């Protein structure tokens, strides 16, 4: 999946040219669907065009997931030179913030490209199972985009057919209940037709396990506890996933798409037509001004644009994960020099990076540790307290975190009340998934967003439970009202 031919890529740009300005500009003329959706190759190219949007910088290639979700949490802070990033960190952003507006725009590009697949691929004469799977992938990706949108912006328009005219984009904002109903329908359809795995040439595409994981996360967010536990348990019982023995292997390129990875955003540092290049290592490595002018990240550029909150680093337990997630010194062997600096993220380190902003480290959107912790949380809530199985799931994550250290660093938990176990799971998620864009969503769905972030010193208010609708959308849709407080 990481490899696109130049011909296919050009065709997709022509086909989806109108989509990339979806809900922002009037659609332009494009290659007619009647001329494009003719065979299996066209169907595959169409679904790849949906995946392509995931790896753009506005979504899961650092800017969106880190500058919005991580900065707005109590885990990270930005370098102070960029006003829009700082505004997201201190909750002074407005409807003109281009980072939040780009997340919205890119999400609807995914939705419209997915709609093009669900509208047109069913009519192609091709292998029936493959055709059903491609439509299932489109529904999974559409559900993912809507799940993020409804959590971040609240009510949004639900559109399940390809946008072909300017009038098509003028839709009312749907209720959250109806948005979630659409998400669940899409995921239920997807889990029935998606394969359990792909061959090596198609790694990174959505599987049944990915659909089940996302559905469990949706149920968890909706506090449908038993359904969340049951769906997470389906993933656990599938036998397709398990934890890496070494936490560091989750992030290293040589272990990508491995046994813990359920769905990852794919990056490849090859030439420009070989797929998306990752930007995480360049932007999380310390700025060269902090390292004597030497660049930690390969390629001559370390930007140090986002790094851990000092309080988060200091409160992090001294388990094996801490040395994988963070670093405070670096040795330049060629200069025989070791430099020290304030804590930065190490988990996206790419030892093979040779050019700035061109890393092969994938971004793990869903991984098995997340499923174990979701199951533990849901089982605790569904049963009025922690069950034996809930403890087992939580303690598996803690056991891996100890690695070769003593049990006293992070002992197995037992004997907790329902409230105590609930707090322990949330805390474990904070540590296990550090810097992976999960914390803001976790705090919001557990009702702790304002309380926790005010305690962290952020100027967050109740209205900040939602991000503002982009100003351009309000201008295009006169009957929409801005989210309160903006």
For residues 310-333, one letter each, b for 16 or more C-beta atoms within 10 angstroms of the residue's C-beta and e for the rest, the string is eebbeebeebbbbebbbbeebeee
CA distance 452 to 449: 6
The answer to whether 234 and 213 have CB atoms below 8 angstroms apart is: no
Domains in the chain: ranges and CATH = 6-194+467-476 (1.25.40.390), 223-262+286-346+357-434 (1.25.40.390)
Q: How far from each other are the two terminal CA atoms of the chain, in whole angstroms?
A: 41
The two three-digit tokens of residue 436, written as one number: 């992976």
Q: Which residue, chain included where needed, has tokens 């809530």? A: 381
Return contacts of 267-270, CB within 8 angstroms, 24+ apart: 267/2, 267/55, 267/61, 267/359, 267/360, 267/361, 267/362, 267/363, 268/2, 268/3, 268/360, 269/350, 269/352, 269/353, 269/354, 269/355, 269/358, 269/359, 269/360
pTM: 0.93
Tens digit of pLDDT at every position of the chain (486 positions): 553 333 344 344 434 444 454 344 333 344 455 668 999 999 999 999 999 999 999 999 999 999 999 999 999 999 888 999 999 999 999 999 999 999 999 999 999 999 999 999 999 999 999 999 999 999 999 999 999 999 999 999 999 999 876 566 678 999 999 999 999 999 999 999 999 999 999 999 999 999 999 999 999 999 999 999 999 999 999 999 999 999 999 999 999 999 999 999 999 987 554 568 999 999 999 998 899 999 999 887 899 999 999 999 999 999 999 999 999 999 998 889 999 999 999 999 999 999 999 999 999 999 999 999 999 999 999 999 999 999 999 999 999 999 987 778 899 999 999 999 999 999 999 999 999 999 999 999 999 999 999 999 999 999 999 999 999 999 999 999 999 999
């Amino acid at each position: 999946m990481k490899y696109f031919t130049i011909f296919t890529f050009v065709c997709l740009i022509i086909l989806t040219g109108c989509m990339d300005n979806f809900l922002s500009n009037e659609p332009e003329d494009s290659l007619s669907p009647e001329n494009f959706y003719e065979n299996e190759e066209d169907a595959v190219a169409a679904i790849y065009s949906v995946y392509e949007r995931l790896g753009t910088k506005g979504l899961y290639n650092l800017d969106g997931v880190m500058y919005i979700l991580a900065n707005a949490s109590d885990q990270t802070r930005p370098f102070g030179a960029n006003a829009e990033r700082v505004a997201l960190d201190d909750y002074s952003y407005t409807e003109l913030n281009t980072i939040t507006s780009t997340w919205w725009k890119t999400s609807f590009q995914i939705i419209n490209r997915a709609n093009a697949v669900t509208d047109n691929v069913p009519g192609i004469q091709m292998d029936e199972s493959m055709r059903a799977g491609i439509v299932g992938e489109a529904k999974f990706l559409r559900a993912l985009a809507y799940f993020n949108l409804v959590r971040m912006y609240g009510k949004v328009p639900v559109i399940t057919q390809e946008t072909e005219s300017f009038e098509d984009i003028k839709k009312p904002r749907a209720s959250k209940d109806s948005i979630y109903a659409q998400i669940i329908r899409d995921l239920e359809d997807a889990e029935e037709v998606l394969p359990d795995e792909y061959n090596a040439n198609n790694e990174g595409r959505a599987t049944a396990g990915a659909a089940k994981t996302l559905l469990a996360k949706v149920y968890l967010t909706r506090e449908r506890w038993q359904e969340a536990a049951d769906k997470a348990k389906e993933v656990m019982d599938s036998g397709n996933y398990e934890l890496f023995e070494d936490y560091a292997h989750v992030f290293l390129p040589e272990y990508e798409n491995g046994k813990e990875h359920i769905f990852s955003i794919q990056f490849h540092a090859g030439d420009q037509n070989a797929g998306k290049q990752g930007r995480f290592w360049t932007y999380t490595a310390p700025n060269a001004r902090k390292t004597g002018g030497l660049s930690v990240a390969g390629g001559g550029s370390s930007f140090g644009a986002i790094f851990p909150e000092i309080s988060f680093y200091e409160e992090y337990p001294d388990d094996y994960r801490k040395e994988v997630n963070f670093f405070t010194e670096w040795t330049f062997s060629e200069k025989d020099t070791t430099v020290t600096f304030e804590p930065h993220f190490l988990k996206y380190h790419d030892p093979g990076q040779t050019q700035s902003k061109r890393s092969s480290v994938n971004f793990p959107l869903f991984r098995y540790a997340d499923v174990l912790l979701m199951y533990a949380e849901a089982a605790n809530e569904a049963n009025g307290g922690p069950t034996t199985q809930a403890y087992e799931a939580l303690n598996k994550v803690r056991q891996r975190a100890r690695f070769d250290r003593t049990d006293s660093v992070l002992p197995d938990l037992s004997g907790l009340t329902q409230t105590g176990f609930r707090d322990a799971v949330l805390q474990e998620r904070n540590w296990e998934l550090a810097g992976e864009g999960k914390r803001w969503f976790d705090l919001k769905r557990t009702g702790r967003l304002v309380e926790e972030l005010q305690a962290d010193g952020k100027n967050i208010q109740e209205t900040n439970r939602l991000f503002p609708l982009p100003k351009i959308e309000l201008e295009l849709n006169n009957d929409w009202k801005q989210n309160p407080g903006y």
